[in-house]
């Protein structure tokens, strides 16, 4: 994950959204690779999986990361798909209405379903307005009950959707033109909970068998709850398949669905040739299946090694072991409270954000020194995590600045210049904002130590407080300037809304630095960010 800017240490990434776009291309590897490459190119996003199927003529790309970085990748993928995929020449087994057929946003960590709904509407609006592709919102983002289910929008395929758009006012798209794009069709964008794409292959070439079994097991025909199913032909394998989506594996687990399909197949004299999972699957779903298949008694998630290691108390203990060193009853020299390697950072090649991150890291280092001497282990551990993340953010800010410079070097008439500038400025805005948040967290930690430490150590903590305070001021100023030149107004609005959540943290942190309270300063900065 290193190249994406997502870290696996501790709770570094506090907000994670998953996006799972489905594209109408499963045979041309170069096109699928190009689409997946978009996720690799944007900081703050990690490509998790790419799967293509020549019979379905469909590709599923899974990526996750910071909410607005994920939104930018999603839009750029839709843009690329509209240029590379032509539905006029597309023939595949899977139902579809667009080059980018469906694009769901899924809450993973630190975000709500409503957050994902907002992302879906933001990206859908961009696709409709800028790419001139009609967009229909579905699932949790749906604006009409008849569009909530994806299969209702796909009913009748491209022609069925085109006819409804032309004759029924209820089928005006949520965004974009009132007619299909000539080559890219339409796009369905939404927000949903995690689902499992589960397929069962049958040793038969009789498509009617697969369709009959699909009808029996799917919820809409009176079958299993939370199961959607269709029957398709896999010509390349000379098989048929029951292709399913499980929208709630806790209510209807994988093993229950498989047993139902196997039972219906046997009743028709057909054997199961194998199964497949398309994309990713929640760990819990596999645990449920393993428990049933192995007849395990009293088995639960605490017996899974990785799950036990990932528990907060395990991460905290490991962090303590990594950070624990013999405590000497003396103040360490200045070079030991900055960078982890003990070296003072060079100013050459630095940016304002990277210097701010280094300064805040020094403040955290001062706090760590005092926490060690006062044996405040929990505070020391958290300060160590903050310092590590600040060093990562220093490099991230330098990288973001370099990418902004590259985008600005493109000719004004270059077609990709606006998108590259918008995407790269996103990193130049979000990085100093994260530095601000970590600095806001530093201040109460240092202030808490100040009340319980010896007088001879208090000047160190006061210096750390002033450093963190200065970093907040400086980085907010950088955010202000970068937002002035950010061409994407939707991103600006989203960033302001996201930062408003941290407003109280900023107020609390600054109030701990000044007496009397900082009303005039706060009002000034909040006005700059237009949060009020």
Half-sphere CA count of 25, side-chain side, radius 13 A: 27
Residues with Cβ < 8 Å from 264, sequence gap 6 or more?
212, 213, 216, 217
C-alpha 369/C-alpha 367 separation (Å) is: 5
Burial string for 424-437 (b: 16+ CB within 10 Å, else e) reads bbbbbbbbbbbbbb
Alpha-carbon dihedral angle through residues 359, 428, 503, 360, given to the nearest 10 degrees: -10
Task: Look at residues 234, 216, 235, 232 and name the one whose alpha carbon lies nearest to residue 224.
Answer: 216
Q: Which residues are catalytic?
A: 94
> Hey, what are 474's tokens?
């400086």
Supply the DSSP symbol for 148.
S
Residues, the chain, total?
Answer: 532
Task: Look at residues 522, 394, 505, 495 and name the one whose alpha carbon lies nearest to residue 442.
Answer: 505
**Which residue stretches of 300-344 are H helix?**
305-309, 312-323
C-alpha 332/C-alpha 468 separation (Å) is: 20
What is the number of other CB atoms lying within 10 angstroms of the CB of residue 28?
15
C-alpha 408/C-alpha 411 separation (Å) is: 8
C-alpha 525/C-alpha 521 separation (Å) is: 6
How big, in percent rounded to 5, are the helix, strand and coil portions of the chain? 55, 15, 30
Burial string for 317-350 (b: 16+ CB within 10 Å, else e) reads eebeeebeeeeeeeeeeeeebbbeeeeebeeeeb
């Amino acid at each position: 994950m290193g190249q994406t800017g997502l870290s696996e240490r501790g709770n570094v990434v506090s907000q994670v959204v998953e996006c799972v776009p489905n594209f109408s291309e499963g045979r041309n590897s170069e096109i699928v690779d190009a689409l997946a490459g978009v996720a690799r190119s944007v900081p703050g996003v990690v490509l998790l999986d790419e799967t293509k199927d020549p019979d379905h003529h469909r590709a599923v790309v899974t990526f996750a990361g910071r909410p607005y970085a994920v939104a930018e990748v999603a839009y750029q993928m839709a843009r690329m798909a509209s240029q590379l995929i032509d539905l006029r020449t597309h023939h595949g087994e899977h139902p579809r209405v667009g080059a980018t057929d469906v694009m769901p946003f899924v809450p993973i960590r630190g975000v709500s379903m409503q957050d994902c709904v907002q992302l879906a509407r933001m990206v859908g609006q961009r696709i409709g307005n800028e790419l001139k592709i009609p967009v229909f919102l579905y699932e949790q983002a749906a604006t009409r009950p008849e569009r909530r289910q994806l299969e209702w929008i796909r009913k009748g395929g491209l022609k069925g959707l085109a006819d409804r758009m032309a004759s029924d006012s209820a089928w005006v798209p949520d965004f974009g033109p009132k007619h299909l794009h000539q080559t890219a069709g339409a796009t369905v964008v939404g927000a949903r909970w995690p689902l499992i794409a589960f397929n069962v292959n049958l040793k038969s070439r009789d498509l009617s068998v697969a369709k009959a079994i699909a009808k029996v097991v799917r919820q809409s025909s009176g079958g299993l709850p939370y199961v959607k199913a269709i029957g398709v032909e896999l010509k390349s394998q000379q098989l048929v398949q029951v292709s399913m989506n499980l929208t709630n594996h806790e209510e209807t687990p994988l093993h229950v669905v498989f047993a139902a399909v196997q039972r219906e197949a046997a009743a028709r004299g057909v054997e199961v040739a194998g199964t497949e999972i398309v994309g990713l699957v929640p760990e819990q779903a596999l645990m449920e299946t393993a428990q049933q298949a192995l007849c395990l008694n009293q088995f639960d998630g605490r017996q899974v090694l990785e799950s036990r290691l990932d528990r907060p108390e395990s991460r905290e203990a490991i962090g303590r072991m990594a950070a624990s060193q013999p405590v000497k009853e003396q103040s360490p020299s200045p070079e030991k409270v900055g960078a982890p390697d003990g070296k003072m950072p060079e100013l050459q090649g630095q940016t304002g954000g990277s210097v701010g991150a280094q300064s805040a890291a020094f403040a955290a280092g001062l706090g760590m020194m005092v926490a060690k001497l006062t044996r405040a282990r929990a505070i020391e551990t958290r300060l160590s995590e903050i310092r590590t993340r600040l060093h990562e953010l220093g490099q991230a800010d330098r990288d973001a600045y370099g990418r902004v410079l590259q985008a600005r070097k493109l000719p004004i008439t270059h077609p990709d210049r606006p998108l590259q500038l918008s995407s790269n400025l996103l990193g130049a805005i979000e990085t100093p904002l994260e530095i601000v948040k970590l600095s806001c967290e530093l201040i109460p930690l240092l202030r808490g130590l100040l009340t319980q430490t010896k007088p001879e150590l208090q000047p160190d903590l006061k210096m750390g407080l002033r450093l963190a305070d200065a970093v907040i001021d400086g980085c907010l100023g950088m955010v202000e300037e970068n937002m002035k030149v950010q061409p994407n107004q939707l991103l600006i609005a989203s960033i302001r809304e996201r930062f408003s959540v941290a407003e109280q943290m900023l107020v609390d942190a600054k109030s701990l630095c000044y007496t009397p309270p900082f009303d005039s300063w706060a009002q000034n900065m909040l006005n700059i960010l237009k949060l009020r």
